[in-house]
């Protein structure tokens, strides 16, 4: 954890092209080869204020969409800026290649080695370790195992298990949480969805609150038909929200 913080601090301090590439790897779980193949327009809007990166065909010949936050969107914008300054002609890729793909990857690996030395990180860190750190962070944040599989582009649970670094402190936290508040005994919160806004803004607020409650309840259910049903319902609410936001209130 401390090494991860030191590494990210040094990358943020440098804020050059390679530093932003490694921050992108750290916060998306991509392989270094996948980052080298990213297209210039890899960032896609998946909803209102929702974004995802299209990861091209990788090691397992699969492609995927990885949801990202505003920080990652900013990283992509920085990399686009660096690409616009590069004298090499545009080729549709986010990262310019002066020669081959393999040469670019070797350059990035050497850069990471120099960053670790500058940050006084004694342990040797390779790019793929950033993928492991991302995986463990997603697990600790409450992302479900099957979702983590999809984020990483894995074909089997066994492959994902190799990436999870579950520390004793994590196990103790989960154990005590389960003992003190078992899911099958915990009462479901009762909350009235009330918006402080009137008109269209109030409708949007109420829909978002309802979607949040549905999602919180869905996460308490075991895998099965009820959980899948609520998942479909949440998706429908997302589409309804998207359509409602397009409406123009009278007189506006």
Return the structure tokens found at 142: 């409450």
Closest CA to 40 of 27, 59, 56, 26: 56
Upper half-sphere CA count for residue 76 (Cβ side, 13 Å): 22
Residue 219 has a pLDDT of 72
Put simply, whether the predicted model's pTM sits higher than 0.75 gets the answer: no
Closest CA to 36 of 17, 9, 50: 17
Residue 177 has a pLDDT of 63
Report, as ranges of residue numbers, the positions in the chain whose pLDDT lies below 70.
1, 58-62, 165-198, 248-252
Residue 34 has a pLDDT of 94
Instruction: Give 2-128's CATH code, choosing from 3.30.70.1520, 1.10.10.10, 2.40.50.140, 1.10.443.10.
Output: 1.10.443.10
For the segment 173-212, what is each residue's pLDDT rounded down to a tens digit?
666 666 665 544 444 444 444 445 567 777 777 777 787 7
Residue 182 has a pLDDT of 55
Residue for token digits 């990471």? 112
Residue 208 has a pLDDT of 77
Residue 249 has a pLDDT of 54
Residue 128 has a pLDDT of 92
Residue 186 has a pLDDT of 41
Domain boundaries defined on the chain? 2-128, 199-245
């Amino acid at each position: 954890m401390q090494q991860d913080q030191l590494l990210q601090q040094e990358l943020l301090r440098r804020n050059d092209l390679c530093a932003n590439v490694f921050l992108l790897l750290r916060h998306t779980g991509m392989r270094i080869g996948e980052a080298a193949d990213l297209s210039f327009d890899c960032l896609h809007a998946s909803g209102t204020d929702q974004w995802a990166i299209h990861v091209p065909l990788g090691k397992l010949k699969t492609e995927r969409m990885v949801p990202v936050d505003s920080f990652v969107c900013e990283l992509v914008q920085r990399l686009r800026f660096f690409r616009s300054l590069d004298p090499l002609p545009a080729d549709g890729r986010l990262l310019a290649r002066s020669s081959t793909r393999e040469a670019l990857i070797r350059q990035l690996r050497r850069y990471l080695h120099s960053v670790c030395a500058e940050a006084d990180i004694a342990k040797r860190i390779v790019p793929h370790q950033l993928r492991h750190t991302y995986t463990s962070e997603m697990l600790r944040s409450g992302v479900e195992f099957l979702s983590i599989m999809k984020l990483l582009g894995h074909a089997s649970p066994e492959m994902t298990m190799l990436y999870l670094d579950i520390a004793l402190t994590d196990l103790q936290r989960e154990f005590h949480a389960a003992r003190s508040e078992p899911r099958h005994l915990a009462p479901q919160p009762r909350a009235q969805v009330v918006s402080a806004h009137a008109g269209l803004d109030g409708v949007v607020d109420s829909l978002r609150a309802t979607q949040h409650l549905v999602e919180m309840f869905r996460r308490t259910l075991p895998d099965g038909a009820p959980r899948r049903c609520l998942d479909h319902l949440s998706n429908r609410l997302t589409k309804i929200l998207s359509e409602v936001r397009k409406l123009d209130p009278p007189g506006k």
